[in-house]
A and B are shown apart, each in its own frame.
Chain A
Amino acid sequence: MPPVKRKLFNLDQYQVPRGKVQIISERCKGCSLCLEYCPNKVLAWSTDYNFKGYRYPVLEETEERYCISCRFCEEVCPDFAIYVIDKKERG
């Protein structure tokens, strides 16, 4: 993420929601839609293959890039292979 220059004056009252991505790897066909759509780029390709011989997405979170629970991946996935559950804020 680029450094933020301007800041909302009441930013501290808002919290960025956090989500936890769940991947059903056996259903994935490696179409790469979730990787394309993810706004925070928290997904990456697996090094392994699944049952059908496709690489599937795995979660790769860092301090800056974490799942914000936008559920784009859940909406766009054609194979019902990925969904997001809301995570309680860590504080």
Chain B
Amino acid sequence: MIEPQILEHPKDLLLRKERIPHIWCPGCGLGSALSALVDALRSSGLDLKNVAVVSGIGCTGRAAGYLNLDSFHTTHGRAIPYATGLKLANPDLTVIVFSGDGDLAAIGGNHLIHAARRNVDIKVICVNNFNYGMTGGQGGPTTPRLARTTTTSYGNTEKPFNLVHLMAACGAPYVARWTSAHPHYMKIAMGEMLKKDGFSFLEVIAPCPTNFGRRNKLREIKLLQRYLEQAVLESQPDIAKADIELDSPILCGKFVDLERPSYLTALKETVSAKVKVYDFRGDGRAPLEEEPVKPAAAKAPRKPAEVPSERPVIQRPVQIKLAGLGGQGIGLCGLIIGRAAAIFDHNQAVYTQEYSPEARGGASASSIIIASRQIHTPYVTKPDIMVIMAQGAYNKYQKDVRPGSHLIIDKDLVRPKDLPDSVRIQAIPATRLAEELGQKVVANIVILGFFTALVPHISLAAMQKALKGSIPKGTEELNLRAFETGYNYGKKRRQYRDHGY
């Protein structure tokens, strides 16, 4: 852990600094694309007061919120209609649409083709990551054939859109494609787009390592390296050969660059002399609809269960809260604890999760309540045991740590401060131990082992059974080793068990 430095990045001028670091995953191409746009805007010489950025929904949609320009975060798929409106209402604006393939080509596909046909003077940057990244990696209209996604687990059978060909066919006067591994070319293309009068379209092929990469066995930086290898750079590429297949080369370059009068120019030439403009008067207000009351869920009849001999009896419900950053496996960890308590220890357990929109890196938490009798509230208000795996999560959930509770932390990643004196802290270097075992991702299992060794409410046998049933096939050996490492580390501090609650 180091003290925050005061360094001023040259691109900070165009960013809303309080929102950085952004939510995009490590290895994602969106950051590179945004960085190139910032560079292009800086070197374009445009008056930045007359630049507006519009984006739709999805990971890419967040870009509008990160740029310190007039920006619009619109409804799903409707970025282009909003941008068209902006441009028509104020022709002095330079309007940039920065959105993803799911937003522009799928739900907003019709708007895209018609904006290109009309030749509205907007600059569209479509970041194509071949799937719906934010919602969990479903297949979309750009998913290449045979690619695996959440909804095409045997490989996609549909032919994807060839976006550059589509745009050229619709009459767009500027069409280019680059991958996010070519930041310099991307920057040049964006600079050309800013100067162009008319609809200009740039497709940026960006890796989605968290969803698309993971399901196609190209994790982290490997996906970007693959794109770099696959990319073919040509000065005059043939647009008919620009189809994207999973293994075929990705043709990059400037496909179309021609002069065609933009929508506003054509409008002025032909109709402006004949049209009378009326003021719009809209004062109609629709009454708000009342929200329907949700019916209470029916109670399931309770089955009498067989009680195993080593089952820990828990008189008062024990509240457990696990917190960390998305991707650390906090959710899985909570699920295993809940399963162990409910299925294998024949106690009762309730499990809830909370998380932020980012797929990696946002503070997330899972809460478990376990008891021997029925639990009447699912919500953890006063946790007896807290497990915190990262400083970001500590800052968010520190307010929940109450006096007299137990706090389990990752020694290297969390620096606890401002805590009541009666909090008992147990620390384990889980991430370091996991790295020694070979994979950083099993840090959560290490901490789970540590937790089992220290906490008397769940039996070891139950936890092991639950662990075996909850992890993906082929990783059992590594996970069990990680569990053992954590358990042995925790056994040394066994006296903690005798405290009782």
Q: For the complex, is A19 an interface residue (Cβ under 8 Å from B)?
A: no
Q: For the complex, is A50 an interface residue (Cβ under 8 Å from B)?
A: yes
A52 CA / B325 CA spacing, docked (Å) = 8
Identify which of residues 16-53 in chain A touch chain B, using a CB-to-CB cut-off of 8 Å.
22-27, 29-33, 36, 48-53
A-B pairs under 8 A by CB, number: 98
CB-CB nearest in chain A for B432: A49
B residues neighboring A (CB under 8 Å): 1-2, 4-5, 7, 9-12, 15, 20-22, 24-32, 34-36, 39, 183-184, 187, 220-221, 224-225, 325, 328, 360-361, 389-392, 410, 412-413, 431
Distance (whole angstroms) from the CB of B37 to the closest CB of chain A? 12
- When the two chains form the complex, which single residue of B20, B32, B431 contacts A76, counting CB atoms closer than 8 Å? B32
Identify which of residues 65-91 in chain A touch chain B, using a CB-to-CB cut-off of 8 Å.
74-81, 83
- State how many residues of chain A have any CB contact under 8 Å with chain B: 28
> Can you report 8 residue pairs joining A to B where beta carbons are below 8 Å apart?
A24-B9, A26-B21, A33-B32, A49-B431, A53-B390, A76-B35, A78-B35, A79-B22
B220–A31 CB distance below 8 A: yes
Q: In terms of DSSP, what is the predominant structure of the interface of chain A?
A: loop
Known: A33-B224, A52-B390, A78-B32. A25 touches B5 (CB 8 A): yes
A49–B413 CB distance below 8 A: yes
Distance (whole angstroms) from the CB of B135 to the closest CB of chain A? 21
A33 CA / B220 CA spacing, docked (Å) = 10
B36 contact set on A, CB distance < 8 A: 75
Instruction: Give the residue among A80, A81, A83 with the most B Cβ atoms within 10 A.
Output: A80
Distance (whole angstroms) from the CB of B229 to the closest CB of chain A? 13
A80–B11 CB distance below 8 A: yes
B184–A75 CB distance below 8 A: yes
A26 contact set on B, CB distance < 8 A: 4-5, 21
A53 contact set on B, CB distance < 8 A: 325, 328, 389-392, 410, 413, 431
B183 contact set on A, CB distance < 8 A: 75-76
Distance (whole angstroms) from the CB of B408 to the closest CB of chain A? 16
